[in-house]
């Protein structure tokens, strides 16, 4: 993406699967909001429309895959990179870690190219290559695979490595890649990858050019969205769905602001890394008090994952420190050294709540390194969860008055009524607050 943009092209980024961190880096590098494509969470029609609508305004689109090419939901390839490529009719460029590999690279690439012929693997880029002679060996190993073109390589280079932590890479808002690093990365790709040949392998896709993904509706509800280094995990399409339903989205920072924006009808507290900024979040007593006052005056609040943690009584970090949070959920959250829940989640609402009536269904994903240590028995649950990867079921979705908090990141386009209900419920609370 960096190399294509350095050539002066308008690049539209996309990401397969449930991910927030990679799209953040895409957005920063391309100067255009990255969009998630997911064949498990949302319908084929939604994926096709999302891709074509945003691809129409760019010279080239790049879709980053997820996990291995064919890895999807349990027992199916739904949600996989292969399923997305097949649905959208896109060619696949395989990226192979070639460290310690020689002629065996040919067998690996051939296996991917022939495993499912409905998924066109048209090229390969090798990563972590020792040098030009190593690449020549790898390229020669692919000569007998007529459908796959060796397109070049990336040498081992510590300057383009993004630091990682428990949820994955460091985020774009933490400036994990400086402008100098991005420029260096673009130059490395330009030097070692045959970009012209890569572009020649791309496919023209019928696009739907529209002025905007969101109708220009007059806003009817004002929703504050927590956005800073601690809260930066949002599906861009969730925000679009809220705007389309009539929401005026107003960003605020639980880390840095002393008060909420004026005239809010609801709050949206997304995911992120509140545990990394627990001391600062706890120290901002003014913001914690402002949110408490907002909730006590019947303001609607939707919180997911990191947002749930922020609404808790406290967060216990891995060093044993206990940091007071907003205190509107009678729970204590404890950080752990391993994933507690991972993968796709189906939801059925068991009671009327902020996002829908009892019986409403939705889809999302779960990915967190924390657990609830203590929870009041009187706290109502609003969701029945079905974890696709493990096959387990549990109740969750902590509901209280106009508040809904869950570890699950729900994709609003999995059910078009979710955002509409959120906005309607936000409006209902307006007369109560005033």
User: How far is Cα 234 from Cα 220, in angstroms, rounded to an integer?
Assistant: 22
Per the structure block, which two tokens stand in for 359? 């019986």
Q: What is the dihedral of CA 367, 92, 76, 366, to 10 degrees?
A: 10
Bridge-based pairing of strands 247-252 and 393-400 is unpaired
Identify the CA nearest to 27 among candidates 5, 49, 46, 51.
5
CA–CA distance from 256 to each of 90, 172, 224, 259, 425 (Å)?
A: 43, 18, 15, 9, 28
Catalytic residue status for 353 = no
71 in helix, strand or coil?
Answer: coil
312's CB contacts (< 8 A; 6+ apart) are: 325, 326, 327, 329, 331, 332, 333, 372
User: How far is Cα 106 from Cα 124, in angstroms, rounded to an integer?
Assistant: 10
Q: Which of 30, 142, 305, 353 is catalytic?
A: 305
Per-residue H/E/C for 83-117:
HHHHHHCCCEEEEEECCCCCCHHHHHHHHHHHHCC
Q: How many CB atoms lie within 10 A of CB 238?
A: 22
Q: Is 84 in contact with 47 (CB distance < 8 Å)?
A: yes
Catalytic residues: 305
């Amino acid at each position: 993406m960096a190399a294509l943009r350095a050539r002066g092209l308008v690049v539209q980024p996309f990401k397969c699967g449930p991910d927030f961190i990679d799209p953040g880096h895409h957005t920063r590098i391309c100067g255009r909001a990255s969009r998630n494509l997911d064949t498990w969470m949302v319908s084929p029609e939604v994926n096709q429309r999302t891709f074509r609508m945003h691809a129409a305004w760019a010279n080239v689109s790049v879709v980053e895959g997820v996990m291995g090419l064919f890895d999807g939901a349990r027992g199916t390839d739904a949600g996989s990179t292969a399923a997305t490529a097949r649905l959208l009719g896109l060619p696949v460029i395989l990226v192979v870690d070639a460290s310690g590999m020689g002629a065996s690279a040919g067998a690996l690439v051939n296996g991917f190219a022939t495993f499912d012929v409905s998924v066109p693997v048209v090229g390969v880029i090798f990563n972590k290559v020792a040098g030009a002679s190593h690449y020549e060996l790898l390229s020669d190993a692919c000569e007998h695979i007529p459908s796959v073109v060796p397109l070049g390589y990336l040498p081992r280079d510590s300057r383009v490595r993004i630091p990682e932590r428990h949820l994955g890479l460091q985020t774009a808002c933490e400036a994990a890649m400086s402008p100098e690093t991005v420029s260096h990365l673009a130059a490395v790709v330009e030097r070692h990858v045959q970009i012209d040949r890569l572009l020649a392998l791309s496919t023209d896709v019928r696009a739907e050019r529209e002025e905007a993904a969101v109708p220009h509706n007059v806003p009817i509800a004002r929703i504050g969205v927590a956005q800073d280094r601690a809260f930066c995990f949002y599906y861009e399409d969730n925000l679009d769905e809220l705007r389309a339903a009539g929401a005026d989205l107003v960003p605020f920072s639980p880390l840095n602001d002393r008060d909420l924006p004026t005239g809010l009808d609801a709050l949206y507290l997304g995911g992120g890394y509140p545990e990394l900024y627990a001391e600062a979040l706890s120290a901002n007593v003014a913001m914690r008090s402002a949110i408490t006052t907002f909730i006590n005056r019947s303001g609607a609040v939707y919180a997911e994952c990191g947002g749930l943690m922020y609404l808790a009584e406290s967060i216990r970090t891995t060093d044993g420190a206990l940091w007071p949070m907003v205190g509107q959920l009678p729970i204590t959250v404890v950080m752990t050294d391993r994933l507690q829940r991972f993968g796709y989640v189906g939801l059925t609402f068991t009671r009327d709540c902020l996002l829908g009536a009892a019986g409403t269904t939705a889809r999302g994903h779960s990915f967190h390194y924390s657990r609830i240590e203590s929870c009041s028995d009187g706290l109502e649950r609003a969701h029945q969860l079905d974890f696709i990867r493990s096959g387990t079921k549990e109740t969750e979705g902590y509901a209280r008055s106009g508040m809904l908090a869950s570890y699950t990141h729900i994709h609003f386009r999995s059910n078009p009524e979710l955002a509409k209900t959120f906005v309607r419920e936000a409006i209902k609370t307006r007369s109560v607050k005033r």
